[in-house]
Amino acid sequence: MDNLSPLKSIMVFVLLVIVAAGFLLVSDITRGDKAGGEVFQSKASRHNLIGVVLNPEGQAPVNLYLAKCPVARAFDFPVGPPNAKGYYNAQPFGKNNHVGEDWNGRKGGNSDLGDPIYSIADGIVVFADDIGGGWGNVVRICHNVGTRAKPVYIESVYGHLKDMAAKKGKIVKKGQKIGTMGNLDELYYAHLHLEIRSNIGRSIGGGYSKDKTGFLNPTVFIKTHRKMK
Ligand SMILES: [Zn+2]
């Protein structure tokens, strides 16, 4: 009997680990459900997006490109320009600590899969790559909202693209197609995650954060920068 005790305690320990792991999994899924999150097909996908926080690949080496960055004189929405006709913002800036906006076609589901995505203003592409995780294909564009002499740079970030038409280091015009709307191989319903950042060149982050420092409300920004001097 004494010989069996260690074996029994190992078995009890293993059983406890299995039960604990099961509990964590269930509470994770429930939490994702309550949070609402992105327009999810899979409830666990929010964790994938958050998991990208430590992924350094989204870093944009913006300094290489800023000298060529054109002055942006006007801004439009990235879908259905100029006013996002046929689309709606499913998860506004700030909701669930979202640091961007989720643009969806009004017909819902994947009806908008492959729809064109346009640059919101003149700028220079500083990043265009597949970073996997909850992001997939990401395009990042720097815009000068100051003057040639006194530049003020902001950055627009377009996530989950199906295809990318933008190339790193290339200048783009407002309304130029930079890619198409994606669903990350059905991880989500197709949508565009759009961010506008006043802190340029930062790590890609996780799409959600309590701290909104360096992130701007895209709709407010676009509407207040329709036409600049
Ligand atoms: Zn989003």
The rounded Å distance from CA 188 to ligand 1 centre is: 10
pLDDT the model gives residue 39: 45
The rounded Å distance from CA 81 to ligand 1 centre is: 19
The rounded Å distance from CA 64 to ligand 1 centre is: 28
pLDDT the model gives residue 201: 84
What topology is assigned to 45-224 in CATH?
Answer: Glucose Permease (Domain IIA) (2.70.70)
Tokens of 30: 């429930």
**Cβ-contact 137, 158 below 8 angstroms:** no
Tokens of 34: 């309550």
Q: Where are the domains of the chain?
A: 45-224
The rounded Å distance from CA 191 to ligand 1 centre is: 8
Distance between CA atoms of residues 131 and 137, nearest Å: 6
The rounded Å distance from CA 106 to ligand 1 centre is: 17
Query: In Å, how far are 4, 37, 63 from 83, measured between CA atoms?
Result: 73, 24, 31
**Cβ-contact 128, 161 below 8 angstroms:** no
The rounded Å distance from CA 193 to ligand 1 centre is: 4
Low-confidence residues of the chain: pLDDT under 50: 1-2, 25-37, 39-58
Token pair 């999150």 is found at: 37
The overall average pLDDT reported for the chain is 82
Give me the DSSP letters along 34-98.
Answer: HH--SSBSSTTHHHHHHHGGG-GGG---GGGTGGGPPBP-----SSSTTTTTTEEEEE-TTGGGB
The rounded Å distance from CA 182 to ligand 1 centre is: 12
Residue 147 φ/ψ region, left for φ over 0, alpha for ψ in the -120 to 50 degree band, beta for the rest: beta
The rounded Å distance from CA 108 to ligand 1 centre is: 16
